[in-house]
Amino acid sequence: MQNTQLRDILRDAKAQLDKAESRVETDEVRVRFLGKKGRLTEILRSMGSLGAEERKRLGKLANDARIEIEGMLARKFEAVKAAEHALRFQAEAVDVTEPGTEFCIGAKHPITITIEEISRIFLHMGFSVTEGPEVETVFNNFDALNAAPNHPSRERTDTFYITDDTLLRTQTSPVQVRTLLAQAPPIKVISPGRCFRVDTADATHSPMFHQVEGLLVDEDVTMADLKGTLDVFAKRMFGAEVRTRFRPHFFPFTEPSAEMDMSCFKCGGEGCRVCKGGGWIEILGCGMVHPNVLRVGKIDTERYTGFAFGMGVERIAMLRRGIEDIRLFYENDMRFIEQFG
C-alpha cells in the first residue's frame, strides 16, 4: 500500500512541478509534499504501526522519495529563477542608442539672489545679519513697535492671526524688538525674512512677501547717518549715478519718518516706463527709532538714538530685473527661475 502511495507522490510531485511557473508556485508544491502536513510526511507518520523490518524498508523508500523530490524542487527553483531573471532583463532592457535623460542644474531663486545682494552691501558697511521667527507675538509685532490699539493693521482683514496673542508677522520689524531686548547698544543689524499680510494676489501684491529690516542704535546717531547709509546702499545696488531724496511720512515705530525715493536707474530721471514717467522710484521706508520702541529694550533714550529702515525684496528684484508680475516669483516655473541663475 505504502509503495503505491510513494509512487503516486513522486508522479504527482513531478506533474505539479512541471506546471509551476514561478518561485511561489514551486514553493507551494514543496509545502504540499514535504511540509509538516505534506503527503510524504503523512506516510512517514503512519509507519509507527508497522513491524521493524517493514518500517526499515519503507523508511528507506520514503527517504529516497524525499531526496528525489528535493532534487526536482532544486532544479525547478533554478529554472524558474532563471526564467524570471530573463523576463526582468527583457522588461528592463535599455536601448543605449536612445538619447539620455537631460539633468538640469538648479538655479538660485531671484528672491534669494536679491537678499544676498542686499545683505552683502550692508555687511560691507559693518552690519550683521540676524533673523527671527515667522510666527510672532502680538506684543512684538504691534505693541512694542508703538502701534496704537486701534491701528488698522491690527485688524483681521489685514493680519493672519493664529490665536488672539500670536500671528504670522506682518513685517520683519519684530526682529528689531527682539534685538533691542537681547542686545545692548551699539546695535547694527539687518534682518531679512518672509512676512505675511491678508492680501489678494495680483501683479503687485502677494499675501507672502520678503523684507529686509535694518536697525542701528548708538550714541549721537542722527538723520544724516540714516540718509548717508541709505544713499550708499542705493548707489551700490542700482549704480553710482543714482540720486536719492527723502519725503516725510508716518510710521508708528519711527519719528521722524520718511520714504526714500531714488532717481530712475533706467532713464536717469528723465521719465520712462519703469518710473512711470516721474523720474523717481519709491524704494523703502525709514526713520529715527521712536523713543517708545527704545524703551521696550530698556535703552537710555537720553544717551542713545537710532535709525531703522525696511525695504521690500520683491520690489527691488522686480525693478532690477524688469519683472512686471510678482506672482512669477511663486509659480516655481524653472523657465523663469533659470533666467537669473
State pLDDT tens for residues 79-95: 888 888 888 887 777 77
- In the prediction, which pLDDT does 49 show? 64
Strand ordering across the sheet containing 254-263:
128-129, 187-196, 208-219, 304-312, 280-289, 254-263, 244-251
Q: Average pLDDT in the 186-208 region?
A: 93
Task: Kindly report whether the global pTM for this prediction surpasses the value 0.85.
Answer: no
- Indicate the pLDDT class of residue 78, thresholds 50, 70 and 90: confident
DSSP class of 330 = G
**Residue ranges with strand state E in 243-316:** 244-251, 254-263, 280-289, 304-312
What is the distance between the alpha carbons of residues 268 and 240, in angstroms, rounded to a whole number? Answer: 11
| Average pLDDT, rounded, for the chain | 88
Residues written for the chain = 341
Question: 270: how many CB neighbours lie within 10 A of its CB?
Answer: 11
Pick the closest to residue 41 from 13, 22, 75 (CA basis): 13
First to last CA, the chain: 85
- In the prediction, which pLDDT does 124 show? 97
Instruction: Parse the chain into domains and list their residue ranges.
Output: 2-91, 110-340
Class of domain 110-340: alpha beta
**Dihedral angle sign, alpha carbons of residues 190, 196, 198, 201:** positive
Examine the pLDDT at 15 and tell me if it is beyond 70.
Answer: yes
Which residue has better confidence, 273 or 209?
Answer: 209
Examine the pLDDT at 17 and tell me if it is beyond 60.
Answer: yes
Question: 150: how many CB neighbours lie within 10 A of its CB?
Answer: 7
Which residue type sits at 8? D
- In the prediction, which pLDDT does 229 show? 97
Which residue type sits at 100? G
